[in-house]
């Protein structure tokens, strides 16, 4: 099986290669693709060296699967060209997510909707993935009326230049500013661009993508996105209101055996999810589950995941696995 990774030398692309290797995905030939300045260099995958290719070279090779993590512009231009050749494109950008005819997939949540004719498949936003992974099984059991989310997002979600800004500031070195303000010792309530309604594009992604994945536009979604000076993963404080009365034990027990979810909820022992411990792991971690003080139908919880893993690369590779399981490739 030929697999192209478009954006292979980037922060997410390099993790995609690690995950493909760790998951022992059946790659017979890897086609690593990057920008012109990287073409001709080599990278190692499964103890073999592979030359970095241009996107045109990868197109000619007609891979069965192409995983994109090269930004919306590249996806918009090249994903349809791969799809025309019969390649299944799994796209990590925001480009295709809200098209009605393109599935937005978290395999554990809505993998069943993936069909053979879907040659472009959208990978959701990192914050949305970990949110719906936890909420989906709860929605099935209790219904879901309203969620209020505040995110605490890692600088890795912005990219390698943002990580450099953080550590340059920490080391008191001059740096190129990716954010409008310093990020070290600071929190920025600013993810993406501000829109006319006062919310940011990252906040509205949480609204629209949650509606699409859970197939329910009636859910009230309120989001505040905050960038914080950490690198291990994204954290979310979530207030969830259901259709029926629930308590913390019901929620905790419902999530205990869900695939891909790890419940860490023993506050008396200081056990709760943190990005420090989520980094490098593929699961979604949930804890601090407690009933609302004022609403018997609501709980508060804390959700953490490595945004480069389950929030991006791992979810994309799991979609590729789904294509194999369904015998589409």
Q: What is the pLDDT of residues 274-305, one digit of tens each?
A: 999 999 999 999 999 999 999 999 999 999 99
Burial tier of 115 (Cβ tally within 10 Å: 0-12, 13-18, 19+)? exposed
pLDDT 10s per residue in the chain (329 long)?
A: 999 999 999 999 999 999 999 999 999 999 999 988 899 899 999 999 999 999 999 999 999 999 999 999 999 999 999 999 999 999 999 999 999 999 999 999 999 999 999 999 999 999 999 999 999 999 999 999 999 999 999 999 999 999 999 999 999 999 999 999 999 999 999 999 999 999 999 999 999 999 999 999 999 999 999 999 999 999 999 999 999 999 999 999 999 999 999 999 999 999 999 999 999 999 999 999 999 999 999 999 999 999 999 999 999 999 999 999 999 99
As a whole-number percent, the residues of the chain with pLDDT over 90 amount to 98
- The active-site residue out of 95, 118, 119, 234 is 234
Give the CATH number of domain 127-306. 3.30.360.10
Domain range list for the chain: 2-124+312-325, 127-306
Tell me the CATH number of domain 2-124+312-325, given options 3.30.360.10, 3.40.50.720, 2.40.37.10, 3.90.550.10.
3.40.50.720
For residue 187, indicate whether it is catalytic.
Answer: no
23 closest CA partner among 326, 264, 325: 325
- pTM of this prediction? 0.97
Name the DSSP letter for residue 7.
Answer: T
Rounded CA-CA distance 46/21 in Å is: 6
DSSP of 43-111: EEETTEEEE-B-HHHHHHH--SEEEE-S-HHHHHHHHHHHHHTTPEEEE-SSTTTT-TTS-B--HHHHG
- The active-site residue out of 117, 126, 190, 208 is 126
State the angle between helix axes of 126-142 and 201-214 in degrees (0 to 180), rounded to the nearest 10: 40
Residue owning tokens 């259901």? 242
* Residues β-bridged to residue 226: 152
For residue 234, indicate whether it is catalytic.
Answer: yes
* Residues β-bridged to residue 224: 150
pLDDT for position 36: 87
Rounded CA-CA distance 254/4 in Å is: 38
């Amino acid at each position: 099986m030929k697999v192209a990774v478009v954006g292979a030398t980037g922060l997410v692309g390099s993790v995609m290669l690690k995950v493909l290797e760790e998951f022992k995905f059946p790659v017979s030939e890897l086609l690593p693709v990057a920008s012109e300045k990287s073409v001709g260099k080599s990278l190692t995958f499964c103890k073999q060296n592979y030359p970095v290719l241009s996107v045109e070279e990868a197109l000619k090779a007609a891979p069965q699967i192409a995983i994109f993590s090269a930004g919306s512009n590249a996806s918009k231009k090249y994903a349809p060209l791969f799809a025309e050749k019969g390649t299944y494109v799994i796209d990590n950008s925001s480009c295709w997510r809200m098209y009605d005819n393109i599935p937005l997939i978290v395999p554990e949540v809505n993998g069943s909707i993936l069909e053979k004719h879907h040659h472009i498949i959208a990978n959701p936003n990192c914050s949305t993935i970990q949110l719906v992974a936890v909420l989906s099984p709860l929605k099935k059991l209790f219904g879901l009326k309203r969620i209020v989310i505040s995110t605490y997002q890692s600088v890795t979600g912005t990219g390698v230049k943002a990580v450099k800004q953080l550590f340059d500031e920490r080391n008191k070195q001059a740096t190129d500013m990716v954010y409008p303000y310093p990020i070290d010792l600071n929190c920025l309530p600013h993810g993406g661009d501000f829109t006319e309604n006062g919310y940011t594009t990252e906040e509205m992604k949480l609204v629209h993508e949650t509606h699409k994945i859970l197939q329910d536009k009636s859910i009230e979604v309120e989001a505040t996105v905050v960038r914080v000076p950490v690198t291990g993963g994204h954290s979310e404080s979530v207030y969830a209101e259901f259709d029926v009365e629930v308590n913390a034990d019901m929620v905790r027990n419902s999530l205990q055996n869900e695939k891909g979810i790890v419940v860490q909820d023993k506050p008396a022992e200081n056990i709760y999810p943190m990005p420090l411990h989520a980094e490098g792991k593929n699961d979604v971690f949930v804890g601090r589950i407690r009933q609302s003080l004022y609403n018997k139908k609501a709980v508060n919880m804390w959700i953490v995941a490595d945004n480069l893993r389950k929030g991006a690369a791992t979810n994309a590779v799991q979609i590729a696995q789904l294509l194999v399981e369904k015998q589409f490739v």
